[in-house]
Amino acid sequence: MQSLDEYDKKLLRLLQQNNKLTTDELSNKVNLSQSAVQRRITRLRNEKIIEADVSIVSQKAAGIGVTCIVDIILHEGGSKSLDKFKTAMKNCSEVAHCYYVTGTYDFVLIVNTKDMRHFEEFSKKHLTDNTNLKHFYTHVVMDKVKMDYGVRI
């Protein structure tokens, strides 16, 4: 992987703000030719520095009314148990984020459901009935104060 120079960093900052900018617009903003911009963007994608080009859909439009942060403690922390839980969460459509963490908890989940009844169904099926789950603690999000999808470059 090639290291990032100032042109790459400028392109990444601009694309994180708006990935619909054309190569012409980017070219003007970073003072490079359109072909140089296109080559750099292609390299950044190929090297997985740009992991994805996505559109962020409004939760309201998707019918999501409740977001919960769930702290998970497992009974067993062996690699097979951890891998089993990771696979289960990867396959669960309500789980937007699953983090394997250090400290008091084993995992932290961000769970999106249409309402509290839906969250209750989710928690019964995927948490309460999981025999390797020791405890889970739920925090219901009351207000999304900051949602930043970019990373600092």
Residue 2, pLDDT > 80, answer: no
Among 139, 144, 107, CA closest to 126: 107
Query: pLDDT tens, 16-74?
Result: 999 999 999 999 999 999 999 999 999 999 999 999 999 899 999 999 999 999 999 99
Distance in angstroms (rounded) separating the CA atoms of residues 98 and 130? 16
Give the DSSP letter of residue 48: T
Q: What is the pTM of this model?
A: 0.86
CB proximity list for 24: less than 8 A, separation 6 or greater: 34
Q: How many Cα atoms occupy the beta-carbon half-sphere of 107 within 13 Å? A: 29
> Mean of the pLDDT values across residues 110-125?
98
Pair 147, 58: CB distance under 8 Å: no
Walk me through the domains of the chain, giving residue ranges and CATH numbers.
Answer: 6-46 (1.10.10), 66-140 (3.30.70.920)
Pair 72, 105: CB distance under 8 Å: yes
Pair 117, 124: CB distance under 8 Å: no
Question: Residue type for 37, please?
Answer: V
Residue 109, pLDDT > 90, answer: yes
Inter-CA distances, 75 with 82, 102, 111, 138, Å: 10, 15, 21, 18
Q: What is the pLDDT of residue 96?
A: 97
